[in-house]
Amino acid sequence: MSFQKQTDRAIVNIGRVFGDVHFTESPMKLQKQLVTIPHCDLNEIFGRESDLIKIYELLQETSKVVLVNGVGGIGKTTMAKAFLQTYGNDFQHIAWIQVENDIKTSLVNNQELVYILGLEENFKELPASTKKEEGFKLIISRLRIINAPNLLIIDNAYDDIENTKTLEAISLKPNWKVLVTSRQSLEGFDNYLLAELSNEDALNLFFHHYKIENRDKNNGIILSQIFEQFEYNTLLIELFAKTGQSRRLSILEIASKINEKSLAFLGSSDQGTIIQFQRGDNEQISNVIRFLQKIFDISCLTEEERQVLANFSVMSNKPLPFSAKSDREGVDTFFQAIETEKRSQLSNTVNRLSKKGWLIWDNINDTFRMHQSIQELMWLQIKPTITNLNLLISFLSNVLAEPHLFKKKFAKSHSEIIYKNIIKLNPNDQVQELWAYFVHNLGMISKELGEYDKSEQYYNAAIKIKEKLASTNPEHNTSLAQTMNNLGSLYINSGKFSEARTILEEALKIFTTEDNGNVNLRNLCSCYDNLGIVFRHIDDLQTSKDYHSKCIILQEKIAADGNENDKQHLANMLMNFGLSNITSKDYDLSKQLFDRANNIYKELESDENKETYLFLRSRVLLNLGELYKSCNEFTKSHQYFKDCIEIRRELKKNDDSVYSKPLANSLYCFSELLYKNCNLNESISVINEALEIYDRLYRINPYSFYINVGDCLKKKSEILCALNQKNEAKLLLKKAIEIMSEYKYIEECSKLIAECESFLVELENT
């Protein structure tokens, strides 16, 4: 670890204790733009010249953060972009933060900013439970030391920014000027109210986008009446002009279309207020919603255009590039699982929607997004459902099930937003097979990434859907049992063995009553294998071995066809059976089972899958080390553990995220052997290495690694006690209990806490 990283890590730790973080010097030479800066065309901005000057002067004069506020659609974001275009050269560094939920989350989740500031490694070490607060402090402290003058723009802020400490932090005195936009007037800021456009400027804006008719006195009078009705809302004027242009309407036709619906505009909205404006603007809100619903008419759109808008409406309103690149996914990836020849068709559709005003195109960065107000309007107009989003959901579901982790991570980030929006928009319309598959696969990728709490949430949601499907169509029973089986496996990983047993036994009942041929046999084998693992952990060894025996017999029949996956599953199941026999001290049978598994792995290994099977063979070495440790053949055990660790160290160099935990597991087992063989100094060295890895993983994802850290601390305390370092051993036991106390409702954790407490009492009494 570099000196800078060591220093940063120490600073973060100090910050946890004293509540703040401070850097003392700029860590690197930074580029002018700390993040991608949105672009705007100054030729398309009307009537804001004096506002730009006043905001600039206010920023120079005040020591406070300047907040530009105004009703939704008045042009706050456009004003902020124009300010950057006009005055950006007056600042050494500039940054733009788009707020989606709250300011802290938006800063911490801005990976581009974190990377530019050189904080990636620091963020990896932050505990998930405190990442938001500590990451915010770390970013603010790094920004503070960048030499003046600098400009930070925070767009679309919410009232969480009013918090005194948050406001003080983002002020970034004295090296930064901070400009915030918000729909609300907030306390503690120098508020600048962005007023409505003048009639002249509104007409200029309208005719910039509308070319069907020329501007004359009569048209000006007609339009002024319409503008006044909608209080000169900048967004509406622009959308109004683009709609008239795209539909080839005359000014009189536009006015007539509005006038014939005048009663509808004046009546109360039966849809509720979905577009959020500044507090107290209820009358204006009503008019705006009616205007958008009646004039922005989707009946004029093609089916392809409506489908693209439906897809945009349920995804994040962050800008999306049109085409997929190596490090990001694009519109063409997510909005159609399209063949190459259809990409030009999609491109034309997206461009048409942009010209009509439905989508916002950033021509500098070549990205598209839907304005939040339009996005919410689409929820009423198009009413996105699982059915009319089936292509998007089906595509993402399949990506989530792919073996490529990189693709799955991208799909997961978008899928989680879609999941939340569909839940919100269709609370009573989720009982569909495609949706159950989608949610199930979100559970799988969350488990793979170690996000066990999320995975449990998704699996339980999928089970509820599948139970309803199965209640009317028994053909869904097998799919229901598959998800139950996966949830049972997740419970095993989480140490929830009672819950695992319950759900797995429910799944087993379904598997043994359904008859779906070989596919069902595979499910049945997996369920038997999981139950064997559960009963081994709850010390019912005979039942464990019975389940494993049934599993092996069935899997051997399935694997007889020569399918590689089936053979690999057989080898994995042989390994699990071998572990149960170690526990029951049937060492000869364990050795035979491990040897059989190893031979299968060797048979399947090729140049294409070498890494996969090298890791699986390292599992054989680990289990053989455990076997010989159990029967006190320490020399053989020592060699097997060393060989396993050597392989996993090499694998970890290729992919730290995948192989860190397996390496730590093997180090832990090796330290147990050394301790048992009274090689205490080497044992403490090995357990320290394991603990360092577990601790790093725990900081990233506490829920998935608390048990590993707690168990490792307990093991280290045992070794220290043998070295007669009892005071340090007691401190470690207390730390282990503290870490695990949050999860004491979990059976395995509760048991381990009791062991630590008992050991601590024993040490206190000696």
Residue by residue, DSSP assigns 264-285 as HHHSPPSS---S--STT-HHHH
Residue 434 pLDDT = 92
More confident call, 129 vs 525: 525
Token digits for 437?
Answer: 């598959």
Residue 329 pLDDT = 57
Across the range 230-234, mean pLDDT stands at 78
Report the candidate in 571, 484, 463, 478 with the shortest Cα–Cα distance to residue 519: 478
pLDDT in tens, 190-212: 899 898 899 999 999 999 999 99
More confident call, 1 vs 611: 611
More confident call, 338 vs 375: 375
Answer for the pair 715, 687: CB distance below 8 angstroms, yes or no: yes
Tell me the CB-side half-sphere exposure of residue 63, using CA atoms within 13 A: 3
Q: How confident is the model at residue 243 (pLDDT cuts 50, 70, 90)?
A: confident
Report the candidate in 55, 25, 33 with the shortest Cα–Cα distance to residue 150: 33
pLDDT in tens, 135-144: 999 999 999 9
- Position 281 pLDDT exceeds 50: no
3-state secondary structure 465-530: HHHHHHHHCHHHHHHHHHHHHHHHHHHHHHCCHHHHHHHHHHHHHHHHHCCCCHHHHHHHHHHHHH
Token digits for 84?
Answer: 């950057």
Answer for the pair 135, 123: CB distance below 8 angstroms, yes or no: yes
Answer for the pair 587, 620: CB distance below 8 angstroms, yes or no: no
pLDDT in tens, 575-606: 999 999 999 999 999 999 999 999 999 999 88
Range of weakest confidence among 108-117, 328-337, 338-347, 398-407? 328-337
- Position 10 pLDDT exceeds 50: no
Residue 292 pLDDT = 58
More confident call, 204 vs 494: 204
Across the range 609-614, mean pLDDT stands at 87
Residue 677 CA to residue 503 CA, distance in Å, equals: 40
List CB contacts of 376: < 8 A, sequence separation 6 or more.
274, 275
Residue 324 pLDDT = 52
Range of weakest confidence among 285-289, 440-444, 452-456? 285-289
Residue 533 pLDDT = 95
For the chain, how many residues are written? 766
Range of weakest confidence among 162-176, 288-302, 658-672? 288-302
Residue 198 CA to residue 152 CA, distance in Å, equals: 29
- Position 51 pLDDT exceeds 70: yes
Q: How confident is the model at residue 17 (pLDDT cuts 50, 70, 90)?
A: very low
Whose tokens are 């994802």? That residue is: 701
Residue 547 pLDDT = 96
Rounded alpha-carbon distances, angstroms, from residue 406 to 403, 412, 609, 650: 9, 10, 18, 21
Residue 405 pLDDT = 66
Residue 742 pLDDT = 84
- Positive or negative CA dihedral for 114, 118, 121, 127? negative
- Position 503 pLDDT exceeds 90: yes
Residue 373 pLDDT = 61
Rounded alpha-carbon distances, angstroms, from residue 275 to 33, 181, 374, 698: 32, 17, 9, 41
Residue 658 pLDDT = 81
Token digits for 269?
Answer: 């909205």
Sheet holding 176-182, edge to edge: 93-98, 150-157, 176-182, 66-69, 190-193
Residue 334 pLDDT = 57
Residue 729 pLDDT = 94
Residue 335 pLDDT = 57
Residue 309 pLDDT = 87
What is 133-172 written as a DSSP string?
Answer: HHHHHHHHHHHHTSPSPEEEEEEEE-GGGGSHHHHHHHT-
Residue 449 pLDDT = 79
Residue 692 CA to residue 712 CA, distance in Å, equals: 10
pLDDT in tens, 335-374: 544 444 466 677 888 888 876 667 877 777 778 888 766 7
Most confident segment among 127-131, 322-326, 587-591: 587-591
Residue 296 pLDDT = 60
Q: Residues of the chain with pLDDT > 70: what percent?
A: 85
Coil, strand or helix at 316: coil
Across the range 17-44, mean pLDDT stands at 69
Amino acid sitting at position 102: D
Across the range 148-170, mean pLDDT stands at 83
pLDDT in tens, 460-490: 999 999 999 999 998 899 999 999 999 999 9
Report the candidate in 510, 504, 509, 491 with the shortest Cα–Cα distance to residue 532: 504
Rg of the chain in Å (alpha carbons): 31
Answer for the pair 319, 377: CB distance below 8 angstroms, yes or no: no
- What integer best gives the mean pLDDT of the chain? 83
Residue 267 CA to residue 459 CA, distance in Å, equals: 45
Residue 710 CA to residue 742 CA, distance in Å, equals: 12
Residue 577 pLDDT = 95
Across the range 429-456, mean pLDDT stands at 89
- Position 741 pLDDT exceeds 80: yes
Residue 730 pLDDT = 94
Q: Where are the beta strands (DSSP E) in 12-149?
A: 66-69, 93-98
Q: How confident is the model at residue 159 (pLDDT cuts 50, 70, 90)?
A: low
